[in-house]
Amino acid sequence: MPEVYDLHCHSTASDGALSPSELVQRAQSKGVTKLALTDHDTTAGLAEATQVARQIGLGFIPGIELSALYANQCLHIVGLNIDPLNPILLDGIAKQHAIRELRARKIADKLQKKGIAGVYEAICEKSGEGEITRSHFADFLFQHGFVSSQQEAFDRYLSKGKPAYVPTQWATLEEVIHWIKAAGGVAVMAHPLRYNLSQKWMNQALAAFKTAGGQGIEVVTSRISVDEIRVSLQFCQRHQLHASMGSDFHTPDNQWVELGRFPTLPINLIPVWELF
Ligand code: AMP
Ligand code: MN
Ligand code: MN
Ligand code: MN
């Protein structure tokens, strides 16, 4: 039987709805045989996921999705096959955590100025031990009737240029790639078509990514069209990167995004798992 890889998803350690155990079990029930958990700026879910994956016989690859700044733009860099205990990576994660914490307070302050009070406290309770993300704010705004969908929360409050947007000084692209490589991992450019950037811009970013030691790019993700695959395939080939694929699964409530469910990788690409 061929392996079924899903190398990008989230648990309650960041903005996912399922615990690491639930996620690993769901992945297996959906036919995934090799799963990477890649929570936003945290490895907190990896120990539990590793243990449960071993128990149920699912292949597991420790991962992370790091937020990085390049030319004033936030890019997401997935680190795959990392050593979660590497001190350089842990130090980087601690810095990102402090940035997230401060940003969350600032977002809450901005919402308060818009007459929406008590958000920070509510979100801290909800996120528990997990990293706070803008998804948590979107959920709050939706659940309290300020917007009619998560998407509207981003469109009206949380996206760049909106009243509760906070510019964030994430670590640089070079720094996060350094952390991933120090931890023995492979750095992968996440969802290159989801930043709404021109192909010219993305080609520049990918050149910098490659120079800094980046090795992979997500060619296939959930809800990607044939035309979009053609573009990400070109990125992959032009920069001689290894090809990755992942659902970016967050919640069973989103019927359009499921673990293991996305088109197959185009042939002639070298899969990223050959580097593991
Ligand atoms: P953060 O890293 O805290 O800025 O949060 C980013 C997360 O918010 C992403 O990983 C998505 O899960 C979610 N997100 C970002 N933009 C949108 C959007 N326009 N609509 C819905 N969810 C979004
Ligand atoms: Mn997310
Ligand atoms: Mn992302
Ligand atoms: Mn993601």
Q: Give one word for 242, left, alpha or beta, with left for phi > 0 and alpha for psi -120 to 50.
A: beta
pLDDT by residue for the chain (276 residues), tens digit each?
899 999 999 999 999 999 999 999 999 999 999 999 999 999 999 999 999 999 999 999 999 999 999 999 999 999 999 999 999 999 999 999 999 999 999 999 999 999 999 999 999 998 888 999 999 999 999 999 999 999 999 999 999 999 999 999 999 999 999 999 999 999 999 999 999 999 999 999 999 999 999 999 999 999 999 999 999 999 999 999 999 999 999 999 999 999 999 999 999 999 999 999
**Nearest atom, ligand 1, residue 67 CA:** 2
| 270 DSSP assignment | P
- The structure tokens listed for 227 are 């035309």
Q: Is residue 15 classed as helix, strand or coil in its secondary structure?
A: coil
Contact 117, 228 (CB under 8 A): no
The alpha carbon of 12 and the centre of ligand 2 are apart by a number of angstroms equal to 10
Determine the residue of 134, 155, 157, 254 to mutate for testing ligand 1's pocket, defined as the one with the most ligand atoms within 8 A of the Cβ atom. 134
Strands of 186-189's sheet, edge to edge?
5-6, 34-37, 59-70, 73-80, 186-189, 216-220, 242-245
Q: What is the pLDDT of residue 192?
A: 98
Other Cβ atoms closer than 10 A to 28: 19
DSSP 141-180: HHHTTSSSSHHHHIIIIISTTSTT-----PPBHHHHHHHH
The alpha carbon of 1 and the centre of ligand 3 are apart by a number of angstroms equal to 30
Determine the residue of 77, 123, 154 to mutate for testing ligand 1's pocket, defined as the one with the most ligand atoms within 8 A of the Cβ atom. 154
Neighbours of ion ligand 2 (CB under 5 A): 15
Ligand 1 pocket residues where CB is under 6 Å? 15, 40, 67, 133-135, 150-151, 154, 250
Amino acid at 57: G
- The structure tokens listed for 46 are 């990896």
Q: What is the pLDDT of residue 58?
A: 98
Q: What is the pLDDT of residue 145?
A: 97
Count of helix runs (H) and strand runs (E) in the chain: 9, 7
